Amino acid sequence: MPLVSTREMFKKAYSGGYAIGAFNVNNMEIIQGITEAAKEEKAPLILQVSAGARKYANHTYLMKLVEAAVIETNLPICLHLDHGDSFELCKSCIDGGFTSVMIDGSHFPFEDNIELARKVVEYAHPRNVTVEAELGKLAGVEDEVKVPLHRPIRSRGICHKNRR
């Protein structure tokens, strides 16, 4: 069974009333542990790779490890880029065999983020690759994507020490 996209995987999950686990991976032991557990449960799964994990483990090594997991388990497995920060990274993953990518343009102005997401979708969909896009902004750091907090967060809750 080859790697699958999330399109059919999600369709089956919605109609069957079950969830699909998504797990970030970056080495053989993590991939083995996750896929062996999924095999016992006969559960489809999504293996996610961040940009940092891809740099650390090397794209080719990760692909071969995931291919081995598909052969050993015969499960529907999707390989997903988690929080890709550029078109070039998404394109490289798509061309290299990933079946799903997330483009995170949250570090750009909203209009530029939409345009970036559109460009990734236009490249990915003809290749049967699904796309997730981070269109809003959540302050924090996710691999190479850093989004600053632009305004203070104000609490509207009750101060617990003054509660009676």
Domain ranges across the chain: 6-162
pLDDT at 24: 97
Q: φ and ψ at 142, to 5 degrees?
A: -135, 105
pLDDT of residue 74: 97
Q: Which residues of the chain fall below pLDDT 50? A: 151-164
Catalytically annotated residue among 82, 95, 104, 143: 82
Nearest residue to 71 (alpha-carbon basis) of 9, 131, 2, 147: 2
Given a contact cutoff of 8 angstroms between Cβ atoms, the answer to whether 53 and 25 are in contact is: yes
82 in active site: yes
C-alpha closest to that of 62 among 33, 95, 28: 28
Task: Return the CATH architecture of domain 6-162.
Answer: Alpha-Beta Barrel (3.20)
Q: Are 97 and 3 in contact (CB under 8 A)?
A: yes
The answer to whether the beta carbons of residues 92 and 59 sit under 8 Å apart is yes
Contacts of 57 (CB under 8 A, 6+ apart): 26, 27, 49
pTM for this model (two decimals):
0.83
